[in-house]
Amino acid sequence: FRFSRRPDIGDKVRVSFEFFPPKTDEMEARLWDTVTRLEPLKPKFVSVTYGAGGSTRERTARTVKRILNETTLTPAAHMTCVDAARDQVDAVIKEFADMGVKRFVALRGDPAAGVGTIYRPHPDGYANGAELVGALKSAGDFDISVSAYPEKHPESPDFATDIDMLKRKVDNGATRAITQFFFDNDLYERYVERARRAGIYIPIVPGILPVHNFTQVANFSSRCGALVPAWLAERFEGLENDPQTHALVASAVAAEQVLDLVERGVGDFHFYTMNRADLVFAVCHMIGIRSHEAEAAGSAAA
């Protein structure tokens, strides 16, 4: 690690956190523990995902509302347009806007039958992420983030098609792209270069996934087209039944990735928290992002 750079990193780096809406009371309690722990790190925004086919619409709305009412955080609501007519999508946009939501993450979504099945737009719906961005743009003055895929989306036949879709989203009003998670920083850098060459100048914020459970991540990665490098598998090898070491290795791996991206000039990071605070908190600490409480305690001790 390049610890020598640590003291000045915190000034340059900004973070955002992603949560998913909880299904049970127990999961809800865990999410709020996580939110409470991460809130003092003052993220730029926190986003709340939207389940396949809008299946979590109410839970997403409830979580966003609670963040608005009970925290100092700025929520961003994810929205998808899969399996929904335009008027249904427009009604959800209005519901969020009436609540006071000013930030959205606009996505196409996957078919309810799951990743890998052929996507067919709803006959009266928005066809893809770019059309949803257009709908949001005409509904209000919102900050709109979209997805980007450093290893290209599995449905994109090539990088040119993939980048073209990102360009359409930007042309329709997207102000930031957040990437699918990845573990090889060279792939991210190459993707950003391709986007810049195509005239895309919005921030392309790396999505960082701290590896809470390597086996799960490896299974999930193969379905969403993200490569799990052999070196990563080796790092977690044999730790299936050793959660403590697994967590230590995971925070080292994520910190190493983020510090390398900082070295490459990246200043914004989006963390897929999986509704857990520990790894994200540790990595933020390593890149100099501290809660005021922690700083105050540190100076009192000094």
Q: Using the rule CB under 6 A, is 155 a contact of ligand FAD?
A: yes
Nearer to ligand FAD, 34 or 60 (CB): 60
Task: Tell which one of 127, 233, 296, 297 touches ligand FAD (CB under 6 A).
Answer: 127
Q: Is 275 in the site for ligand FAD (CB under 6 A)?
A: no
Asked if 117 touches ligand FAD (CB under 6 A), the answer is: no
Question: Annotated catalytic residue: which of 18, 39, 131, 151?
Answer: 18
279-298: contacts with ligand FAD (CB under 6 A): none
Q: Does 153 bind ligand FAD (CB under 6 A)?
A: yes
Four-CA torsion 262, 266, 267, 268, nearest 10 degrees: -120
CB of 1 to ligand FAD, least distance (A): 27
CA angle (30 as vertex; 24, 181 as ends), nearest 5: 100
Closest CA to 281 of 270, 293, 289, 272: 289
Residues 237-266 as x/- pattern, contact with ligand FAD by CB under 6 A: ------------------------------
CB nearer ligand FAD, residue 9 or residue 148: 148
Assess 80 for contact with ligand FAD (CB under 6 A).
yes
107 binds ligand FAD per the rule CB under 6 A: yes
Q: Is 18 an active-site residue?
A: yes
Letters for 161-200 (x = contact with ligand FAD by CB under 6 A, - = none) are: xx--x------------x-x--------------------
Closest approach of ligand FAD to the CB of residue 166, in Å:
7
- Residue count, binding to ligand FAD (CB under 6 A): 25
Question: x-or-dash pattern for ligand FAD, window 22-51, by CB under 6 A?
Answer: ---------------------------xx-
Q: 94 and 132 in contact (C-beta within 8 Å)?
A: no
Return the range that interacts with ligand FAD (CB under 6 A); candidates 31-39, 63-71, 152-160, 240-248: 152-160
Q: Would you please indicate which residues are annotated as catalytic (active-site) residues?
A: 18
Which parts of this chain interact with ligand FAD (CB under 6 A)?
49-50, 52, 78, 80, 105, 107-110, 119, 121, 127-129, 147, 153, 155-156, 161-162, 165, 178, 180, 207
